[in-house]
Amino acid sequence: MEITFDAIISVVGMLLGGGCGAFFTWRWQRKKAKAEAEEAEVDMAQKVQETYERILQAKDKEVEDNHRLIGELRMDRDHYKHDRNELREQVAHMQDDIFEMKKEIARHGRMVETMRPFMCYDTKCKKRMRHPTPDPSPCGEGESPTTPSPSSPEEGTPLLQPLPVRRGEK
């Protein structure tokens, strides 16, 4: 290889004119690019952090809203439990009342069956019986159902007398 004067001049010109400058420029550009990359990385990290904080704030608000709703639902549940218990008590009371009414109806039915042979449906019958009732004076002023009425034919006859069985009746 032969080194010529033109090759030496071109190498020296390149070194003096732009070769050394290109080397320093390249290093400077590399540092600049590295700094810009670090700055972009920091900017992205800040954006990620801001996004993360917004998401956390939204979730915190959502959690607070959920806790408030849970509290309201618990209050509603307690209110409905109280109403349900009151209704159960009312139902139990009504069932007791129904039971008592059934007993009263059965007692009245037995009383009617017991009194059936003594009842006379003829309003003009002198042996017609007056039934004792809890009303103050069902038989008139001053009379009691257990005392004989002045209209009865015999003064000492009891009020509950079996009616005579007529022919054709049993």
Residue 152 and residue 156: Cα distance in Å, rounded? Answer: 9
**130 Cβ neighbours under 8 A, 6+ residues apart:** 138, 139, 145, 149, 159
Q: Where along the chain do its domains lie? A: 37-116
Ordered mean pLDDT values, 10 residues apiece, the chain (170 residues): 68 64 68 89 95 96 97 96 97 96 94 78 66 46 44 47 53
Burial class (CB in 10 A: 0-12, 13-18, 19+), 122: exposed
- State residue 137's pLDDT score: 40
